[in-house]
Amino acid sequence: MKKLKFILPVMAFVFAIAVSFASAKFVETTDIVGEFIQKPGLCEPVTAGCSGDGPTCTIPGQIVYRISNETLTMCSDPLGHTPLP
């Protein structure tokens, strides 16, 4: 009985730690995709239909970019646009 009183709390503690690691979500921050235009201090998401190939993709007077950091403050990778045939 003495062993049981010691083993049960230890097992519960080990189980709680294992479950906390098993339920943690790991997010890859470098996979932010989409189209953005540069605004002062941030990248604003837009829908422009850029493919990434061809001449630089623009929407009324602004270049469309990919995001280049996970804080959405720097757009420095211009997207291209392939014209339809």
- A 10 A CB-CB count for 72 gives 15
Cα 60 to chain centroid distance, Å, stands at 27
Strand ranges (E), 1-85: 35-39, 42-46, 58-59, 62-63, 65-66, 77-78
- Output the pTM of the full model: 0.47
Per residue in 12-61, pLDDT tens? 999 988 887 776 665 554 445 678 887 877 788 888 777 766 788 888 88
Helix or strand holding residue 14 (H, E): helix 2-22
Delimit the domains of the chain by residue range.
Answer: 32-78
Rounded distance between C-alpha atoms, residue 74 and residue 66, angstroms: 9
